Amino acid sequence: MSPVTSHSVEAATPLALKDKLVPALGAAALGIVLLFGAGFAPMEALHNAAHDSRHSAGFPCH
């Protein structure tokens, strides 16, 4: 039998504003880049990208 060990539970410390702001700004920047990249891309390029990603994931598309 294995010995019983006790684990202490520590209170979770709240995150600082910097620790919340950096990931939020990174996600917002990535979203803006994707939104404008898709908005100004030619339709054929978007179709080919979606088509290739469906095939690489193993989904048939036609």
CA angle 4, 5, 11 (to 5 degrees): 145
Q: Computed over its alpha carbons, how large is the radius of gyration of the chain?
A: 23
pLDDT, tens digit, for every residue of 34-55?
A: 999 888 989 998 888 888 888 8
**Burial of 42 (C-beta count, 10 Å sphere; 0-12/13-18/19+):** exposed
Higher pLDDT among residues 32 and 38, named by residue: 32
Residue-level pLDDT at 1: 59
CA–CA gap between residue 34 and residue 26 (Å, rounded): 12
Residue 61 has pLDDT above 80, yes or no: no
- Dist. CA 62–CA 40, nearest whole Å: 26
pTM of the entire structure? 0.52
Q: pLDDT tens across 2-16, in order?
A: 666 666 666 677 878
Asked if residue 30 has pLDDT above 90, the reply is: yes
Per domain, the residue ranges of the chain are 16-57
